[in-house]
Structure 1
Amino acid sequence: MLALLIYLLGQRSSAEWVSWVMVGVTASRYLLVMGVLASATLARPNPFRAVGALGTYVGGTVLALALLFAAA
């Protein structure tokens, strides 16, 4: 879903901040993967995983709202 949001917003001439949110969401996904791979067990919290998940949710919501407002 994030890839589709990034693709659709990338096709439009979006504002500069949208590009930065795209970069931030991509970095968050990498942090999430680092957190999963670095954990001995997924039962214990990992800061990389927490920051990656939070960045993914917040950035995805912002991108969805940007696409919604761009379509209107």
Structure 2
Amino acid sequence: MHRRLEHARWPAPETVEDWSQGVPLARLQALCSYWRDEYDWRRCETALNALPQFTTWMKPASTGRSLRCGEP
């Protein structure tokens, strides 16, 4: 993921000051920089894996669910 974020191809900057043309380029670049350099996926993965895991059967396939019941 780090390599993909490092080599992202960015669009031309927006021509307006608001969000009418989508996410401002600088905001998106800052978010990707955070994901690339600061976000600790392994910490979040550990927290998610600590939750009970369930499998729910739905036609035509199954889907995994993590549920936390009775806690604030």
Greater relative CO (CA pairs within 8 A, separation 6+): 1
Q: Which has the larger radius of gyration?
A: 2
**Higher relative strand content:** 2
- TM (norm. structure 2) is 0.33
- TM (norm. structure 1) is 0.33
